[in-house]
Structure 1
Amino acid sequence: MKTKFNKQRQTIIPSVYTFLFLMVCFYSHAQLKGGHILGAMGLQSGTQTPENTLSVYVPGYFYTASSLRNADGDNSVANPDIDMTITGAGASYISKFKILGANYGASILVAFAANTIQGNNLNAKNDLAFTDMYVQPVQLGWHNKRADFIFSYQLYLPTGKFTAGASDNSGLGMFMNEFAAGTTLYFNDKKTFHFSALASYEINGEKKDTNIKTGDILSIEGGLGKTFYFLNAEKTVPKSILNAGLIYYLQYKMTNDKIPLPVIGVVEGKKDHVGGLGAEVNYFHIGCSTSAGFRWIAEVNAVNRFQGNTFFLTLAHVFSFKKE
């Protein structure tokens, strides 16, 4: 009996340590995703919309991964079956109220997501479902002759379904706080040539019912573009506006992910990063106060994360409360 127990013990203990070793190896290379959606900002990302307006919009975010890159940036998984979709309805209000010379604004987005990517896990399969909510209680915008500036604070609420280890989570299961600041620079008096950059810093809390914590994330987005005005038949006032140009984004994990494991302790995953370059076209019809925008970004130089293509479609209607 004692011999049998010793044999079982000799079999179980190496298996446990092998399991823990594999877990450490997996998690040390795994990366956890934050709430910031790359591609949501592009041309004139440092510019606030006009004051005394309410914008109601419907976003469509589509991400398809073409590969999974390892810590050296090499292709570790070719053609992973990962395609993420986000849609919903949002609203943004910019008031006449001034704070430090800037217009105050706020926005909200109620969203639904399918195949929510939580990290480098290939097993992300959920139908379109209610996901984490985006709330921006503070947005400040300044407008100068040759430059615009913007500052904002936003948070992501863990309203989506989340269970640690599940493959069908629609949310990330954590509170996320984010601060952003940016500018749009104009190269001519008519403000038709412009370059923008918006930097966002995301601070993440622990995931629900765990001690797992996603590292802080820095995202930089913007673009170089040209604005075209199309005049009415009398050529006195513009009837529509077209904005087009090249856009980019960069994202860096600034602090390590922390994943506690039994016996071993806290494992810190290596930091990931990615870049992207693409194009954007926006069309705004002044008479209908309606706009449609499309962005496409091809990712490059990904390390410890998926690399693929981002598509972003936005339809919006602007209600103006300005007196004629």
Structure 2
Amino acid sequence: MKLKINHSDKIMKLAYAVFLFLISLYGNAQLKGGHILGSSGLQSGTQAPEKTLSLYVPGYIYTANCLRDGDGDKTGNPDLNMFLTGIGANYVSDFKILGANYGATVLVAFASNTIQGSFIDSKSNFAFTDMLVQPVQLGWHNKRADFVFSYQMYLPTGTYEYGGSNNSGLGMFMNEFSAGTTLFFNDKKTFHFSALAAYEINGKKKDTDIKTGDILSLEGGLGKTFYCMNAEKTAPKGILNAGLIYYFQFKVSDDKIPVGTFLLEPDKDHVSALGAEVNYLHLGCMTQAGFRWVSELGAVNRFQGNTFFITLAHVFSFKKK
């Protein structure tokens, strides 16, 4: 009996390894982490009210219009549109830890054209991708400031194969710690500024010694809250939140890409972005709709483009009326 050898797979993986080696020599081999930029904006340092369950459907779209090199110069015109959606749930309890409300979040997601790195113009099909689990979320509420701390992990549940052309996941386990605050500039808490910092620690990719460097992300915004009154002007019927938002991301440590006997350490990437956000919560049915748009600038060793984030959510309150 003869064994059937798939030479095309071997050739593709060898070519992929050579490709990684060559581009690493030019410092452009940047690998992507799991943190979704644009997922936080206005009041990013504020936890949801206690004894609430929020079920939400996110819609994330990222369009890359150029690729920037180590000097920030344009080196290509990629035609890349990444899309992600799914079903998520966030619960905040009245249980206290160190004076903070305990909460947890889970997101089951699906994505197409998952971006693996700055050198891959991915065309993967819409499929089940990596899963987000946040088992620890702590929130403090003070008169002029809110604070949050959380630990989340990204599980490698999406399809990944070294050298594969249709990967829907990143093929690695990711740990992330985040902390942030929302500062309020008046007693009614209608004028606010927020900042949320997240530090991502990545493991090795499946069946390889390739390791994405640690990543630091910073997101937040400056906004104003408006109360939309009913016709009799006796009570609010909705809450509108609008303002300017931003994000920054920096590769803190080098990517590790072993090729043969070499351990290559490419230059670290970074990007910044500015945009706008608007959210509306209808108090009668406790349904919320939100939209964020962020335009990237100052990218180095990575794609540069626009991020769009649409969220629909329904909030269940378990407080006694």
The residue number in structure 2 matching 1:278 is 275
- Cα deviation, residue 165, structure 1: 1.3
Aligned match for 2:220, one of 212, 219, 222: 222
Alignment length (residue pairs): 304
Contact 2:89 2:106 in 1 (8 A): yes
Distance 1:214 1:208 in 2: 12
- How do residues 146-295 of structure 1 correspond to structure 2 at under 5 angstroms? 146-263=144-261, 265-295=262-292
- Cα deviation, residue 93, structure 1: 0.1
Distance change (3 Å), C-alpha of 1:144 and 1:262: same
- Cα deviation, residue 234, structure 1: 2.7
- How do residues 35-184 of structure 1 correspond to structure 2 at under 5 angstroms? 35-78=34-77, 80-184=78-182
Distance 2:207 2:120 in 1: 23
Q: Secondary structure at the match of 1:156?
A: strand
Contact 2:67 2:304 in 1 (8 A): yes
After superposition, the C-alpha distances for 1:105-163 in whole angstroms (9 at most, x for unaligned) are 00100000000000013431111100000000000000000000000000000000000
Distance 1:23 1:216 in 2: 19
Aligned residue type for 1:231? M
Contact 2:130 2:155 in 1 (8 A): yes
Distance change (3 Å), C-alpha of 1:209 and 1:183: same
- Cα deviation, residue 25, structure 1: 3.2
After superposition, the C-alpha distances for 1:227-254 in whole angstroms (9 at most, x for unaligned) are 0001122322211000000000000000
After superposition, the C-alpha distances for 1:161-183 in whole angstroms (9 at most, x for unaligned) are 00011121000000000000000
The residue number in structure 1 matching 2:6 is none
Aligned residue type for 1:269? P
Unaligned runs of 5+ in 1: 1-18
- Cα deviation, residue 22, structure 1: 6.4
Distance 1:250 1:123 in 2: 22
Aligned match for 2:21, one of 19, 24, 42: 24
Q: Secondary structure at the match of 2:163?
A: coil
Distance 2:157 2:227 in 1: 41
Q: Does 1:33 align with 2:7?
A: no
- Cα deviation, residue 259, structure 1: 0.4
The residue number in structure 1 matching 2:12 is none
The residue number in structure 1 matching 2:8 is none
- Cα deviation, residue 23, structure 1: 4.5
- Cα deviation, residue 24, structure 1: 2.9
Distance 1:322 1:22 in 2: 57
Distance 1:262 1:102 in 2: 50
Contact 2:60 2:309 in 1 (8 A): yes
Distance 1:126 1:157 in 2: 19
Contact 2:28 2:119 in 1 (8 A): no
Contact 2:109 2:129 in 1 (8 A): yes
Distance change (3 Å), C-alpha of 1:23 and 1:100: closer
Contact 1:44 1:196 in 2 (8 A): yes
RMSD (Å), alpha carbons:
1.2
The residue number in structure 2 matching 1:308 is 305
Q: Which moved more, 1:194-203 or 1:165-174?
A: 165-174
TM-score, normalised to structure 2's length? 0.93
Q: Which has the larger radius of gyration?
A: 1
The residue number in structure 1 matching 2:295 is 298
Q: Secondary structure at the match of 1:257?
A: coil
Distance 1:160 1:81 in 2: 23
Aligned residue type for 1:46? G
